């Protein structure tokens, strides 16, 4: 994923510093740089942008005033010397607020957060996967998948209405699934946690199936399920 970004700051040294940081991050691409919000407004009408590095105190119009006039702004990281604007910035749903001078460590943490958010949004836009099964490319909706089981060089995708055998590894198919919905529970299993109806000892119930949960996955899986209120517990077993 390449994240297209723009720097807007009336301080040349601040722009230079951010530019240098951006050049070090392989998933960031600088597509614009300007010294005030008016020029940024013009750029946004002509260039597709994923992320803004936006100062607040600028001539003519502030960064926050510009945000208040944008209908569908990209992700925004405020970069300012004034911490008193932080709360106001978050009212505009900015992703992060960096105080000048910005360290590279803090910058990296911020852009990683943007990367994760955009990646999650991208996955959520796609609600299916194509797999090759029985010499055909088949479209399978994520919501129809119950679980996936590894069998040597193949995986079995169990859906609500079919069982598809696909020549791939569990790791490869896991990387193509939205991981806020699908979780690995065992070296041989991935489950759709939205389909889990109960925890029974070290097994998950996805009617009519029982899926094992390995010890090293147990705490993470059970916390995810319980926090999402997806299951009913068996008090005698858990």
Q: Alpha carbon of 118 to those of 55, 67, 113: distances in Å? A: 22, 19, 9
Quote the pTM value: 0.57
DSSP three-state, residue 205? strand
Output the six-digit token pair for 67: 């945000």
* Separation between Cα atoms, residue 209 and residue 181, nearest integer Å: 18
Beta strands in the chain, from DSSP E residues, in sequence order? 3-8, 28-34, 51-54, 75-80, 96-99, 128-133, 136-141, 145-151, 154-159, 163-166, 182-186, 189-192, 198-200, 203-206, 209-212, 232-233
| Full pLDDT tens readout for the chain, 238 residues | 899 999 999 999 999 999 999 999 999 999 999 999 999 999 999 999 999 999 999 988 999 999 998 888 999 999 999 888 888 878 888 999 999 999 999 999 999 999 988 887 876 667 889 999 988 999 999 999 999 999 989 999 999 999 999 999 999 999 888 877 899 999 999 999 999 999 888 999 999 999 999 999 988 888 887 765 444 434 344 4
Among 49, 99, 96, 97, which residue's Cα sits nearest to residue 70? 49
């Amino acid at each position: 994923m390449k994240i297209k970004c723009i720097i807007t700051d009336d301080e040349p040294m601040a722009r230079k510093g951010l530019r240098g940081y951006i050049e070090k991050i392989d998933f960031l691409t600088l597509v614009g740089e300007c010294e005030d919000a008016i020029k940024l407004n013009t750029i946004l009408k002509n260039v597709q942008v994923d992320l803004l590095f936006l100062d607040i105190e600028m001539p003519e119009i502030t960064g926050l005033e510009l945000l208040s006039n944008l209908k569908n702004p990209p992700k925004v990281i405020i970069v300012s010397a004034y911490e008193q604007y932080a709360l106001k910035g978050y009212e505009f749903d900015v992703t992060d607020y960096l105080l000048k001078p910005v360290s590279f460590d803090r910058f990296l943490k911020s852009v990683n957060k943007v990367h994760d958010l955009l990646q999650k949004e991208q996955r959520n836009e796609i609600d299916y996967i194509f797999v090759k099964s029985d010499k055909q490319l088949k479209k399978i909706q994520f919501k129809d998948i119950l679980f996936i089981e590894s069998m040597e060089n193949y995986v079995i995708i169990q859906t609500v209405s079919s069982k598809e055998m696909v020549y791939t590894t569990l790791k490869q198919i896991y990387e193509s699934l939205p991981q806020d919905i699908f979780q690995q529970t065992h070296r041989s299993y991935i489950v759709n946690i939205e389909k889990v109806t109960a925890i029974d000892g070290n097994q998950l119930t996805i009617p009519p199936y029982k899926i094992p949960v390995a010890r090293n996955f147990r705490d993470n899986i059970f916390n995810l399920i319980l926090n999402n209120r997806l299951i009913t517990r068996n008090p005698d077993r858990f």
